[in-house]
């Protein structure tokens, strides 16, 4: 059993094995499991409501509403595969009662099957910043007294600020651990300081030119992923996760090729915005899966997106100064080509992994590299500093913005 705080209510997700449920429910639900919801839905909802009795600290009963039921298969190490009913139950506190503290009287199945136990876990709780499951307790029959003790549940203090700050932190964490998102952005920025000369990358375009291009690319990517983050989190747009992840890897491959030879010169901002739409769909799943109420969802979208932007800006602020300095040296060509080649290899490995579902040596190598990503600025600085001082025209080129 999983419980979740929803601000003014509590949601419970029950996972009930059909073979044990049949013994307690008194109806044959294992013969045709796929028909259970249709044939016994109303009676089963009534049964569940009769055996779930939350009460407030003062003893006032809460409302119980079974909002959804599905039948499917599950698997455990000891018992193997089995059929189960998954029921979503909403617990509604009486007026004036604290929705964060209550006593749960629960005897579903175990009132007839004394060996049955309900493991109660807190799935997530936005108001306390908890996003990972945590065990709350166990409800079971005391074989010595043949009684079932109620479980006292205290979800803690609910805070909008805690929820918001946690979403900011989650956004930052998603980018920090989402090496593919960062690699796409870095691959886009590698040639951003250069002017295209036909089908080749030319010389450094100057500080003003570089700054405008860098800002336009980053801003376009931000607008793109912000749009689909909002649409996805609100369930306006929802795509299967696999094709989205494949498209993200494909976006890295395309930008890596562009960093080697310009294939869409002058249109980097539009491409960044387009691929940003794809990346935003991946971001949206984090927020959408929290199943928040409207107000908390709005705050979460804002906080999560802010966290993404803060981490992106932090990484970009570290990279751009070195990239501009490096652009006036011959070493930039080799850094650009090397970085683009590595990005392309990583993209191919991710595409193969995400299409086939099978791990490969490149994908495993990228997981290892992602752990060292915070140190990535160090080799860039170690290459840039000597290259800059060895380039006699460096200072003059850095202040030249009048190239055709």
pLDDT in tens, the chain (404 residues): 899 888 788 999 999 999 899 999 988 888 877 777 777 888 999 999 999 999 998 899 999 999 888 888 887 766 667 888 999 999 999 998 998 899 999 999 999 999 999 999 988 788 888 777 888 899 999 988 889 999 999 988 888 888 899 999 988 888 887 788 888 988 988 998 899 888 899 888 888 888 888 889 888 998 999 999 888 888 888 888 889 999 999 999 999 999 999 999 889 999 999 999 998 888 888 888 777 777 888 888 899 999 988 988 888 888 888 888 888 888 888 989 998 999 999 999 999 999 998 888 888 887 777 777 666 777 788 888 888 887 755 455 555 554 44
**Residues in Cβ contact with 105 at an 8 Å cutoff, skipping those fewer than 6 apart:** 52, 53, 54, 55, 148, 150
User: Taking the alpha carbons of 236, 170, 124, 17 in that order, is the dihedral positive or negative?
Assistant: positive
DSSP track, 191-260:
TTTEEEETTEEEEE--HHHHHHHHHHHHHHHHHHHHHHHHHHHTTSS---HHHHHHHHHHHHHHHHHHHH
pLDDT at residue 401, as a whole number: 53
pLDDT at residue 365, as a whole number: 84
pTM (two decimals): 0.76
pLDDT at residue 205, as a whole number: 86
Instruction: Choose among 315, 327, 279, 283: nearest CA to 302.
Output: 283
Distance, in Å, from the CA atom of 340 to the CA atom of 258, rounded to the nearest integer, reads: 8
CA 338 to the chain's CA centroid: 30
Distance, in Å, from the CA atom of 125 to the CA atom of 102, rounded to the nearest integer, reads: 15
Read off the pLDDT of residues 170-182 as tens digits, 9 standing for 90 and up: 888 888 877 888 8
pLDDT at residue 403, as a whole number: 45
pLDDT at residue 77, as a whole number: 60
pLDDT at residue 182, as a whole number: 84
Parse the chain into domains and list their residue ranges. 2-157, 161-398
Specify burial of residue 256 (Cβ count, 10 A radius: 0-12, 13-18, 19+). buried
Q: Identify the helix (H) or strand (E) that includes residue 265.
A: none
Read off the pLDDT of residues 133-159 as tens digits, 9 standing for 90 and up: 888 899 999 988 889 999 999 988 888
Strand partners, 130: 125
pLDDT at residue 149, as a whole number: 93
Residue 342 dihedral angles phi and psi, to the nearest 5°? -65, -40
């Amino acid at each position: 059993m999983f419980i979740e705080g929803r601000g003014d209510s509590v949601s419970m997700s029950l996972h009930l094995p059909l073979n044990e449920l049949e013994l307690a429910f008194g109806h044959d639900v294992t013969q045709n499991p796929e028909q259970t919801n249709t044939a016994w839905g109303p009676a089963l909802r009534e049964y569940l409501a009769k055996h779930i009795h939350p009460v407030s600290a003062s003893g006032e009963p809460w409302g119980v509403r079974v909002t959804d039921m599905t039948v499917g298969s599950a698997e455990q190490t000891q018992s193997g595969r089995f059929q189960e009913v998954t029921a979503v139950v909403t617990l509604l506190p009486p007026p004036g009662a604290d929705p964060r503290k209550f006593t749960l009287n629960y005897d579903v199945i175990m009132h007839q099957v004394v060996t049955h136990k309900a493991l109660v876990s807190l799935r997530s709780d936005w108001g306390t910043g908890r996003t990972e499951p945590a065990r709350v307790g166990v409800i079971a029959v005391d074989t010595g007294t043949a009684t079932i003790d109620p479980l006292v549940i205290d979800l803690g203090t609910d805070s909008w600020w805690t929820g918001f700050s946690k979403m900011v932190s989650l956004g930052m964490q998603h980018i920090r651990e989402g090496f593919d998102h960062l690699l796409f952005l870095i691959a886009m920025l590698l040639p951003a300081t250069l002017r295209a000369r036909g089908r080749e990358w030319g010389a450094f375009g100057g500080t003003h030119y570089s700054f405008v291009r860098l800002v336009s690319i980053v801003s376009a990517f931000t607008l793109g992923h912000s749009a689909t983050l909002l649409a996805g989190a609100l369930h306006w747009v929802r795509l299967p996760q696999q094709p989205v992840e494949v498209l993200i890897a494909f976006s890295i491959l395309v930008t890596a090729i562009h960093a080697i030879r310009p294939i869409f010169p002058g249109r980097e901002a539009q491409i960044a915005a387009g691929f940003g739409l794809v990346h935003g769909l991946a971001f949206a799943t984090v927020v959408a899966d929290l199943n928040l109420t409207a107000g908390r969802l709005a705050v979460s979208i804002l906080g999560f997106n802010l966290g993404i932007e803060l981490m992106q800006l932090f990484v970009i602020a570290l990279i751009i100064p070195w990239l501009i300095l490096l652009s006036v040296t011959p070493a930039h060509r080799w850094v650009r080509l090397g970085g683009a080649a590595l990005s392309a290899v990583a993209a191919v490995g991710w595409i193969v992994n995400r299409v086939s579902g099978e791990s490969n040596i490149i994908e495993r190598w990228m997981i290892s590299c992602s752990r060292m990503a915070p140190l990535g600025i160090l080799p860039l600085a170690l290459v840039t500093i000597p290259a800059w001082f060895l380039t006699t025209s460096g200072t003059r080129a850095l202040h030249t913005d009048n190239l055709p």
